[in-house]
Homo-oligomer: A and B are copies of this chain.
């Protein structure tokens, strides 16, 4: 029933006359960001893409598979870029262990590059991704853990060398916090900016943002092990 892609291409003179598949992916990226997965209907999506309603099921199979395609289109290259950058840093450092900041850079820079690249969906995609992290739908959760498993394992190994005072378990938690702050920050809904009264007119916004995030995360990662007595559920007064 599904087709192999034929060799046909529209002459690339008009940037708007892309593949049907690409037009669907672009419209989906935008609308999933604006309204979320559940609240975006295939009717408004195909209308925005200028394609027939049935095209999504024809090219992607289902709405869920379309969502996974939206994610994988950007996420696979970004995570590969992270791994490659980390490998390059390690090569350049020779036998010396990388600093925590350097490893963090290998995580943040590809995300920042993507966010600034309007031709690759820019910020739209990162918002969709940040929202997907919090989505309880099983097909999303399974997809994301599969997508991230390799990259996370690779970076955990690198951080372990850079932070020898941490146990494996402690590092796992701290990486969890890092991912939290990162996804929350990159997904950055406007309401939260409003909530914190951040002024965000600037276009180089994200660059400034990551320059602030990196020292924060590096300090957190390097923190000494906690006393396990700092937080007490004191009830009486």
A136-B36 contact, Cβ under 8 Å, with A112-B231, A173-B198, A196-B175: yes
Whether A226 pairs with B207 at a CB distance below 8 angstroms is no
A137 and B213 alpha carbons, distance in the complex (Å): 26
The reply to whether the CB of A20 lies closer than 8 angstroms to some CB of chain B is no
A105 and B149 alpha carbons, distance in the complex (Å): 33
A189-B133 contact, Cβ under 8 Å, with A180-B184, A196-B152, A226-B211: yes
A184-B133 contact, Cβ under 8 Å, with A88-B237, A141-B190, A210-B231: yes
Min CB distance, A16 to chain B, in Å? 26
Q: Interface segment, A2-10, A69-77, A215-223?
A: A215-223
A34-B176 contact, Cβ under 8 Å, with A112-B231, A223-B216: no
The reply to whether the CB of A179 lies closer than 8 angstroms to some CB of chain B is yes
Query: What 8 A-B pairs come out closest when comparing CB atoms?
Result: A180-B184, A141-B191, A219-B223, A38-B38, A215-B226, A220-B220, A145-B195, A216-B220
The reply to whether the CB of A58 lies closer than 8 angstroms to some CB of chain B is no
A222 and B112 alpha carbons, distance in the complex (Å): 24
A184 and B180 alpha carbons, distance in the complex (Å): 5
A217 and B79 alpha carbons, distance in the complex (Å): 26
A214-B195 contact, Cβ under 8 Å, with A108-B231, A112-B233, A181-B181: no
The reply to whether the CB of A66 lies closer than 8 angstroms to some CB of chain B is no
The reply to whether the CB of A54 lies closer than 8 angstroms to some CB of chain B is no
* CB-defined A-B contacts under 8 Å, sample of 16: A35-B136, A35-B137, A38-B39, A101-B230, A134-B189, A140-B191, A142-B191, A152-B196, A173-B198, A181-B181, A211-B228, A214-B226, A214-B230, A216-B221, A219-B220, A220-B223
The reply to whether the CB of A194 lies closer than 8 angstroms to some CB of chain B is yes
A172-B198 contact, Cβ under 8 Å, with A133-B134, A177-B216, A226-B211: yes
A212 and B127 alpha carbons, distance in the complex (Å): 27
